[in-house]
Structure 1
Amino acid sequence: MTLALPWTDHDCFGCAPGNPHGLGLVFAREGAGLTTDFDLGHHYESYPGVVHGGIVALICDETMGNLIMLDGGPLAVTTSMRMRYVGTVHVGLPHRVTAHLITVGPDLVKATADVSDARGDLVASATATYHRSTP
């Protein structure tokens, strides 16, 4: 089931539906995790036919960060993130990111995200630490 994020009234590159230059990611719950599906065109590639690794990292970060916010906020900002690329994220093919929380503390939250291709094969993974921010 697709989730309506309460904070999409701004120009977030990853998830704002009104950003004409953004990715327009849509999220769904999967158990305790959060998923998003994407299929990107050639304007997001690095090498011919390959999605730029920075864009893949952005989608992982967006999925983990939104999971943290949906699981009770407050705003959490990325303090560190490690990417591991084990396959190729191809332009024009469907992929899915699935994020889960690892540890939740009063100030720091750790999360993980896996990127799978249409066959379900792992092509990339991320682990990140987020710091809860107060306005």
Structure 2
Amino acid sequence: MDRSLAVDLPKPAATVQVPWSVIPDYHCFGCSPHNPSGLRLAFTPHPDGLQAAFRLGRAFESYPGVVHGGLIGVICDEVMGNLIVLARNYPAFTVSQRTRFLTPLLVNHEYRCVATLSAPAPDRPIQAAAEILDGNGAVCATSTATYQRFALDDVRHQLTLGDDEVTLLSDALSAANTFSTNGVHS
């Protein structure tokens, strides 16, 4: 494998399938296995929510040997956003996000991102948080974000989905899961 791209880590047996995986050849930059230039994140349950292990190659660096900070925000957003979909059974757009960098992340080093959700509040935007941890469990970056729920039919004109894909995705979003509404795996 070209070490300049995202490095595939072994997929644990407990990998969680995201609803988007029902759409053949989906190309999400963060989680699609079909996007050769993407991050190809795989999600696993975490006692507090959802996590994804990753190691990025030189194609994702800013300063020599350092992962570009913008990608850290992308990874946090991806894990938080998919936790919302899995725990609440509906998609949500990112409204705002704030990321704090405690230490640079290095290329070709293993990290994991752990996302959690605040308790649901009716008619309020969804609050989520994430941490990037190194191999020793030290926090390297944190992120908090606000998300707004949306209905597929309401944003249909903005998405490139056919009728059959909307049906597949709607069915996947309504399927039972093992996450509570605050994202804790049960």
The TM-score bracket by the shorter chain reads: over 0.9
Aligned equivalent of 1:77 = 93
Unpaired runs of at least 5, structure 1: none
Does residue 114 (structure 1) correspond to residue 131 (structure 2)? The answer is yes
Deviations 1:65-124 (A, max 9, x none): 000000123110000000000011110000000000023233411000000111111000
1:29 partner amino acid: P
Q: 1:30 pairs with 22, 46, 61, which one?
A: 46
1:103 touches 1:111 (CA, 8 Å); kept in 2? Answer: no
Aligned pairs, number: 135
Does residue 133 (structure 1) correspond to residue 146 (structure 2)? The answer is no
> Which one has a bigger Cα radius of gyration?
2
CA distance in 2, matches of 1:106, 1:39: 37
Does residue 2 (structure 1) correspond to residue 15 (structure 2)? The answer is yes
Q: 1:93 pairs with 95, 105, 109, which one?
A: 109
CA distance in 2, matches of 1:33, 1:63: 9
Does residue 20 (structure 1) correspond to residue 19 (structure 2)? The answer is no
Deviation at 1:21, TM superposition (A): 1.3
CA distance in 1, matches of 2:120, 2:60: 33
Unpaired runs of at least 5, structure 2: 1-13, 153-186
Taking only the aligned residue pairs, the percentage that are identical comes to: 44
Bigger share in helix: 2
How big is the alpha-carbon RMSD for the aligned residues of Structure 1 and Structure 2? 1.1
After TM superposition, the score normalised by the length of structure 2 is 0.70
Aligned equivalent of 2:77 = 61
CA distance in 1, matches of 2:84, 2:151: 14
Bigger share in strand: 1
Deviation at 1:134, TM superposition (A): 1.5
1:115 partner amino acid: I
